[in-house]
Amino acid sequence: MEWSKGQKSFFTKALIHWHETSNERSLPWKEEKDPYKIWLSEIILQQTRAQQGLPYYLRFTEAYPTVKDMAAAKDEAAFRLWQGLGYYNRCKNMLATARYIASELNGKFPDRYEEIIKLKGIGPYTAAAIASFAYGLPHAVVDGNVYRVLSRYFGIDTPFDSTEGKKVFQQLAQELLHKDDSAGYNQAIMDLGATVCTPQQPLCAECPLQKNCIAYKQQLTGILPVRSKKTSVRKRYFHYLLLRANDKIWIRKRPAKDIWENLHEPYLIEADEVLKTDKLIKNKAYTFNNKKGQEPEYEGFLTQRLTHQLIETHFFSLQVGETIKVPVDGGNWVAINELKNYAFPKTVVSFLEKKLYF
């Protein structure tokens, strides 16, 4: 694909001018030069909208103002702060990277793109963002906002999630980069995509690029950008059994290589369908024979949509009288008033809060 120098020059100049005169999007990390805090913001904002991530950023920077503070954090405390943000592997990688920087690099963040991208949990976008925002290095960021702005302005119908598309957008973004102000340019194009060139109902009348925007001229804003892959969604049925022995509840930490790794949960019975009480107690994973013959009490259900999964969770409770041995490794009986010290998946938190366990 070829575009004129004038078309590309106008794009960069108009974008920078808009950023300097009209961009009113205010976020605490935008003026930040500390690579640790920039890295922290970028990790939080992976798969997360800025306004959703903002309170988490503020809580983390207050709890761990430096990378060495984060390196010294207890896993459970960090996961508790992360609770509700999702994609918990980000938190696990974040702790690993902080500890690596603290122990192997004497607490000093790498200042070259080639070294930054080697850190755990950091890909090309995050490495470019840190290199640009912290050190002013000429690396263009390419995220969903950037794909959208570039595809509409230049009329690119190559799917952005294809191998060819990724190459086209990355090369074009690098060409357009303002070499003397890479941080300003990168911030400008992301902010424009977030506030003006939005996915639905873009504010074309307010866009500084409208004059030469192909999508605007040809009424393609509802079509561009193009995605080639359709996301297949797997539906899963979780049945949580809250085992209660007086003032204690049994919980365990979820295992690796599945969603919600390192978070805690009650006793889980997963099935291929929704299990009502009569079917639940016949399931092979249900091994609890209450002395009084009491059946578990159904407490309701919640659903949670993840990127590739839809989790339908049904809750049951059962009074067992004493802290019995539960046939799952890694579990513990925890006092109800101590549950607030553990990190749980969002769905479980919602249920526990509703039932006043927190």
Question: What's the pLDDT score for residue 162?
Answer: 93
* Interval 53-82: pLDDT, tens: 999 999 999 999 999 999 999 999 999 999
218 or 232: which leads in pLDDT: 218
Same domain, 116 and 44: yes
Task: Round the average pLDDT of the chain to a whole number and report it.
Answer: 93
Same domain, 186 and 87: yes
In angstroms and rounded to an integer, the radius of gyration of the C-alpha atoms of the chain is 25
Q: What angle do CA 290, 291, 294 make, to 5 degrees?
A: 50
The residue range of the domain holding 259 is 234-354
Residue 227 located in a structural domain: no
Question: What's the pLDDT score for residue 291?
Answer: 53
Same domain, 202 and 259: no
Q: Determine the 3-state secondary structure of 177 from DSSP.
A: coil
Q: Are 252 and 264 in contact (CB under 8 A)?
A: yes
Query: d(Cα 287, Cα 290) in Å, to the nearest integer?
Result: 10
Q: How far is CA 286 from CA 106, 132, 209, 243, 269, in A?
A: 51, 54, 61, 12, 8
Sequence-ordered list of residues with C-beta below 8 angstroms from that of 266, at least 6 positions apart, any chain: 240, 241, 242, 243, 249, 250, 251, 348
Same domain, 211 and 240: no
Confidence label for 218 from pLDDT (cuts 50, 70 and 90):
very high
Question: What's the pLDDT score for residue 313?
Answer: 97
* Interval 102-116: pLDDT, tens: 999 999 999 999 999
Confidence label for 328 from pLDDT (cuts 50, 70 and 90):
confident
Mean pLDDT, rounded, for 187-195: 96
* Interval 154-177: pLDDT, tens: 999 999 999 999 999 999 999 999
Same domain, 163 and 303: no
DSSP labels, 3-43: --HHHHHHHHHHHHHHHHHT-----TTTT---HHHHHHHHH
Question: What's the pLDDT score for residue 289?
Answer: 66
Same domain, 175 and 29: yes
Overall residue count recorded for the chain in this entry: 358
Same domain, 193 and 239: no
Greatest Cα pair distance, the chain, in angstroms, is 82
Mean pLDDT, rounded, for 327-354: 91
- Residue 283's domain is classified under what CATH number? 3.90.79.10
Percent of the chain with pLDDT over 70: 97
Query: d(Cα 23, Cα 214) in Å, to the nearest integer?
Result: 22
Confidence label for 294 from pLDDT (cuts 50, 70 and 90):
confident
Number of domains in the chain: 2
Residue identified by tokens 């049951």 is 316
Same domain, 190 and 241: no
Residue identified by tokens 């930040």 is 32
Same domain, 181 and 317: no
Same domain, 309 and 255: yes
Query: d(Cα 184, Cα 197) in Å, to the nearest integer?
Result: 18
Q: Which residues are identified as catalytic?
A: 42
Same domain, 111 and 213: yes
Q: How far is CA 34 from CA 38, 40, 112, 136, in A?
A: 6, 10, 14, 12
Query: d(Cα 125, Cα 117) in Å, to the nearest integer?
Result: 9
Residue 223 located in a structural domain: no
Query: d(Cα 126, Cα 118) in Å, to the nearest integer?
Result: 11
Residue 186 located in a structural domain: yes
Q: Determine the 3-state secondary structure of 226 from DSSP.
A: coil
* Interval 271-293: pLDDT, tens: 999 999 999 999 999 988 655 56
- Residue 61's domain is classified under what CATH number? 1.10.340.30
Residue 222 located in a structural domain: no
